[in-house]
């Protein structure tokens, strides 16, 4: 062991691999199999079935211990390890010589709690979900053919290169606007909020991608910030969130209108391929050509029919002449019949009218005779014929009372067969004046 090598041995230079083997042997001899409690961070699963992750203290300290769990041991797990989960692992502590790192080869693992960050994630998720920020009804559909796409990420991030490469390959016709922002660290939430708000204010893109590459729960924590989540919800354009790998889920993913498993997938979701757009345009062009061709055919047929009519005007005139003759024959035949019909309809009406007129005349004659009789009864000559006379003074005014008489005054008496001049010589029954 190193403690027993002595000063002389310490002065003898060793190779790197030899030194690491000696350190590994020393650790294995002193500690051997050990049990460690901590939060999972930077979890990844290899295609071979091996699981690699880091362990850190739940109090948020900077200490980090790398762990490797090979396929055989990982296949015996009764649960699926997740970022931020608090676990207890048992395994052999040693040195990973290719990188000179201390690591634990995990042989068994069991849950020990959710972990501080993961618990905070769950609390924030429950609170924001209760406020409706994750409701499906709030999700907006992406534009089918965006003219411009915005990207919120770090200028130095690999995610930006992946998104730009995917858009350049799939949809080179789409304009891209980058809104730079920090994506990790204490200043990342404020920078993300500012970039998303800037995109909304400038309103120069049709859809916005918020993205960054994979990492541990701590690396992606800015996308769990409440202000970032609210900024995504308040965006004036649809937002696609592509943060981390497919297994990484952040609160920003839940608030976005669409979650993409990776940044590259986000680019594929926001813009259809150039070939697909050209195919749609070709289909529209073919449909338009068919419509134009059909319209031209229809007009050509109408033109042909018109040309046929114009080419033989004598035939058209002959047809019109024949039609007029036919109408004349029909009119000549219809007129007598119409007159006969009208005469037949008028004959009974004439008899009715004649009978009504005669009845009306008889009635009027009877009324006239009755009135004549009444009028004759009132004729003054009839009264004079009965021995009465009509007296009038010199002025022709009728005398109807002795009070109008004056002795010696001339009067005229009209009888039924003539008139006589008389003089008043006396008045009987005259009242004294």
Per-residue model confidence as pLDDT tens for the chain (433 residues):
334 444 445 567 777 777 777 777 777 767 778 889 888 888 998 999 999 999 988 777 778 899 999 999 998 887 788 888 888 899 888 888 888 888 888 998 887 765 667 778 888 888 998 999 899 899 999 998 899 999 999 998 889 999 999 999 988 989 999 999 999 888 899 999 999 999 999 999 999 999 998 877 777 889 999 999 999 999 999 999 999 887 778 899 999 999 999 999 999 999 887 887 778 888 888 899 999 999 998 998 888 887 776 656 677 778 888 888 888 888 877 777 778 787 777 777 777 888 888 888 889 989 988 888 787 777 777 777 777 887 888 787 887 788 878 888 888 888 878 888 888 888 877 554 4
Chain Cα centroid distance, residue 235: 20
By CB atoms closer than 10 A (0-12, 13-18, 19+), residue 61 is: exposed
> Which residue spans of the chain are classified as CATH 3.40.50.261?
134-272
Nearest to 153 by CA among 278, 242, 235, 32: 242
Nearest to 192 by CA among 180, 204, 203, 200: 180
Which stretch of DSSP H or E encloses residue 109?
Answer: strand 101-113
Predicted pLDDT at 3: 43
Residue position matching structure tokens 């992606």: 220
CB within 8 Å of 85: residues ≥ 6 apart: 39, 40, 111, 113, 114, 115, 118
CATH number of 2-114: 2.40.50.140
Predicted pLDDT at 273: 78
E strand spans, 101-200: 101-113, 148-153, 175-180
Nearest to 31 by CA among 88, 90, 93: 93
Which pair of structure tokens corresponds to residue 346?
Answer: 């008028």
CATH superfamily of 134-272: Succinyl-CoA synthetase domains (3.40.50.261)
Chain Cα centroid distance, residue 188: 37
Q: Please count the residues of the chain.
A: 433
Nearest to 195 by CA among 220, 167, 227, 148: 227
Nearest to 257 by CA among 134, 130, 79: 134
Distance between CA atoms of residues 227 and 335, nearest Å:
96
Residue 105's beta-bridge partner residues?
A: 68, 92
Distance between CA atoms of residues 262 and 244, nearest Å:
6
Neighbour count for residue 326 (Cβ, 10 Å): 10
Nearest to 240 by CA among 266, 212, 204: 266
> Which residue spans of the chain are classified as CATH 2.40.50.140?
2-114
Distance between CA atoms of residues 376 and 298, nearest Å:
94
Q: What is the three-class DSSP state of 4?
A: helix
Give percent helix, percent strand, percent coil of the chain, each to the nearest 5: 50, 20, 30
Distance between CA atoms of residues 211 and 200, nearest Å:
17
CA-based max dimension of the chain: 205
Which stretch of DSSP H or E encloses residue 391?
Answer: strand 390-392
Quote the pTM value: 0.49
Predicted pLDDT at 10: 58
Distance between CA atoms of residues 101 and 97, nearest Å:
7
Predicted pLDDT at 192: 95
Distance between CA atoms of residues 200 and 237, nearest Å:
7
For residues 226 and 197, the answer to whether their CB atoms sit within 8 Å is: no
CB within 8 Å of 417: residues ≥ 6 apart: none
Find the angle CA(249)-CA(254)-CA(258) to the nearest 5 degrees: 100
For residues 268 and 166, the answer to whether their CB atoms sit within 8 Å is: yes
The DSSP code for 321 is: H
């Amino acid at each position: 062991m190193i403690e027993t090598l002595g000063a002389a041995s310490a002065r003898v230079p060793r190779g790197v691999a030899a030194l690491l083997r000696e350190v590994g042997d020393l650790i294995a001899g002193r500690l051997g199999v050990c049990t460690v409690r901590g939060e999972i961070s930077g979890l990844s699963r290899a295609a071979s079935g091996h699981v690699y992750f880091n362990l850190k203290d739940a109090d948020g300290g900077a200490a980090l211990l790398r762990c490797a769990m090979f396929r055989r041991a990982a296949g015996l797990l009764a649960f699926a390890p997740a970022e931020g989960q608090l676990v207890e692992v048992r395994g052999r502590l040693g040195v990973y010589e290719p990188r000179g790192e201390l690591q634990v080869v995990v042989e068994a693992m069991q849950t020990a709690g959710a972990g501080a960050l993961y618990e905070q994630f769950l609390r924030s998720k429950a609170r924001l979900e209760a406020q409706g920020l994750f409701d499906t009804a709030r999700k907006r559909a992406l534009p089918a053919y965006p003219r411009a796409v915005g990207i919120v990420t770090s200028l130095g991030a690999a995610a930006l290169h992946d998104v730009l490469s995917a858009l350049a390959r799939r949809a080179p016709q789409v304009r891209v606007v980058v809104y730079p922002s920090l994506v990790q660290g204490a200043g990342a939430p404020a920078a993300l909020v500012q970039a998303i708000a800037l995109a909304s204010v400038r309103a120069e893109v049709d859809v916005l991608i918020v993205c960054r590459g994979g990492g541990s729960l701590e690396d992606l924590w800015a996308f769990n910030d409440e202000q970032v989540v609210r900024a995504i919800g308040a965006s004036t354009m649809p937002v696609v969130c592509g943060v981390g790998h497919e297994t990484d889920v952040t609160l920003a993913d839940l608030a976005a209108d669409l979650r993409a498993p990776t940044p590259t997938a986000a680019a594929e979701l926001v813009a259809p391929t150039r070939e697909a757009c050209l195919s749609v345009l070709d289909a529209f062009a073919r449909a338009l050509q068919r419509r134009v061709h059909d319209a031209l055919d229809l007009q050509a047929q109408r033109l042909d029919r018109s040309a046929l009519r114009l080419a033989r005007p004598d035939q058209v005139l002959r047809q019109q002449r024949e039609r007029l003759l036919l109408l004349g024959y029909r009119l000549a035949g219809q007129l007598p019949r119409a007159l006969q019909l009208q005469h037949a309809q008028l004959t009974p009406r004439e008899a009715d009218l004649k009978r009504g007129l005669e009845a009306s005349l008889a009635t009027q004659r009877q009324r006239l005779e009755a009135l004549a009789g009444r009028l004759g009864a009132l004729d003054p000559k009839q009264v004079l014929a009965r021995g009465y006379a009509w007296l009038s003074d010199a002025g022709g005014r009728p005398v109807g009372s002795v009070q109008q008489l004056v002795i010696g005054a001339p009067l005229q008496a009209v009888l039924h067969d003539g008139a006589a001049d008389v003089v008043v010589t006396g008045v009987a029954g005259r009242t004294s004046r």
